[in-house]
């Protein structure tokens, strides 16, 4: 009697395992395929970035209809992040390449704070290039004074890229007291009377709105 019970229990375990495996195998396989597809497109996007990063020129597929919706969305988002990183790197490079690392992080943080503010555009690139199409009124001077056409110093450019990446990934704890403005210490722009000074870092003075619009 005990032998029969043991046999029945053993077969019950085998059948249960078979049913569980049968039900979960399609899910596991589908997840594996999706992960493989995502990794494949990540590699392609990385190659895309490395080849066209400095010029920011992206090639279009000769047959975009062959991409799945997932592939198109993933590649679009990846390219958008690359572009935002490039804009932030440019701002750090042209505005603060001679500053210490903390000074460069402060400049980057001002741009991020502007993105969060309702008084400025909603993306890094829009913030950096705000007003650049006008002869006067650009928010960051390098975007309209011709500086951007000068040849990049490789070492300083790589340093700016690294700082931009760190800031965009949230690797820098906010420290500028939500500053949204700054200027070099050798000038005194007219808008400083409307703002509250927060700190001096290197050759820059930082300011925020007198009302506390955004939190750290």
Domain boundaries, the chain: 8-47, 71-175
Higher pLDDT, 177 or 5: 177
pLDDT digit string, tens, across residues 117-173? 999 999 999 999 999 887 677 999 999 988 888 899 999 999 999 999 999 999 999
**Angstrom distance (rounded) from CA 29 to CA 99:** 51
pLDDT digit string, tens, across residues 5-51? 555 555 556 556 556 555 554 544 444 444 444 444 444 444 444 44
pLDDT of residue 60: 40
Round to the nearest angstrom and report the end-to-end CA distance of the chain: 72
For 144, which DSSP code?
A: T
pLDDT of residue 128: 97
pLDDT of residue 194: 93
pLDDT of residue 70: 60
Identify whether the C-beta of residue 153 lies closer than 8 Å to the C-beta of residue 174.
no
Q: Which helix (H) or strand (E) holds 1?
A: none
pLDDT of residue 22: 54
Token duo for residue 57: 């020129």
**Angstrom distance (rounded) from CA 101 to CA 212:** 27
pLDDT of residue 24: 52
Residue 183's DSSP bridge partners are: 205
pLDDT for 112 beyond 90? yes
Residue with tokens 């975009």: 64
pLDDT of residue 108: 98
Identify whether the C-beta of residue 212 lies closer than 8 Å to the C-beta of residue 197.
no
Token duo for residue 6: 């043991």
Token duo for residue 155: 């070492």
**Angstrom distance (rounded) from CA 147 to CA 90:** 10
Residue spans of alpha helices (H) in the chain: 2-52, 69-96, 101-116, 124-128, 154-168
Identify whether the C-beta of residue 88 lies closer than 8 Å to the C-beta of residue 124.
yes
Higher pLDDT, 150 or 2: 150
Higher pLDDT, 17 or 82: 82
| Interval 101-113 mean pLDDT | 98
pLDDT of residue 149: 86
**Angstrom distance (rounded) from CA 16 to CA 10:** 10
Task: Out of 22-26, 91-95, 124-128, 198-202, pick the least confident.
Answer: 22-26
Identify whether the C-beta of residue 118 lies closer than 8 Å to the C-beta of residue 180.
no
**Angstrom distance (rounded) from CA 157 to CA 173:** 23
Average pLDDT, the chain: 78
Q: Report phi then psi at 173, rounded to 5.
A: -70, 135
**Angstrom distance (rounded) from CA 210 to CA 195:** 5
Percent of the chain with pLDDT over 90: 52
pLDDT of residue 186: 93
Question: What is the fold, at CATH topology level, of the domain defined by 71-175?
Answer: Arc Repressor Mutant, subunit A (1.10.10)
């Amino acid at each position: 009697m005990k032998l029969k019970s043991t046999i029945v229990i053993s077969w019950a375990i085998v059948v249960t395992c078979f049913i569980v495996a049968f039900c979960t195998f399609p899910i596991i396989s589908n997840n594996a395929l999706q992960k493989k597809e995502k990794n494949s497109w990540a590699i392609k996007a990385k190659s895309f970035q490395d080849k066209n990063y400095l010029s920011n020129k992206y090639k279009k597929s000769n047959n975009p209809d062959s991409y799945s919706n997932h592939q198109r969305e993933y590649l679009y988002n990846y390219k958008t992040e690359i572009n935002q990183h490039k804009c932030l790197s440019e701002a750090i490079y042209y505005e603060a390449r001679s500053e210490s690392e903390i000074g460069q992080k402060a400049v980057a943080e001002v741009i991020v704070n502007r993105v969060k503010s309702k008084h400025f555009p909603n993306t890094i690139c829009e913030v950096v290039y705000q007003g650049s199409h006008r002869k006067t009124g650009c928010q960051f001077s390098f975007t309209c004074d011709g500086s951007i056409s000068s040849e990049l110093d490789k070492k300083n450019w790589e340093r700016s890229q690294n700082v931009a990446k760190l800031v965009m990934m949230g690797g820098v704890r906010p420290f500028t007291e939500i500053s949204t403005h700054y200027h070099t210490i050798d000038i005194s722009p007219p808008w400083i009377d409307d703002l509250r000074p927060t700190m001096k870092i290197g050759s820059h003075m930082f300011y925020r709105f007198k009302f506390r619009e955004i939190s750290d």
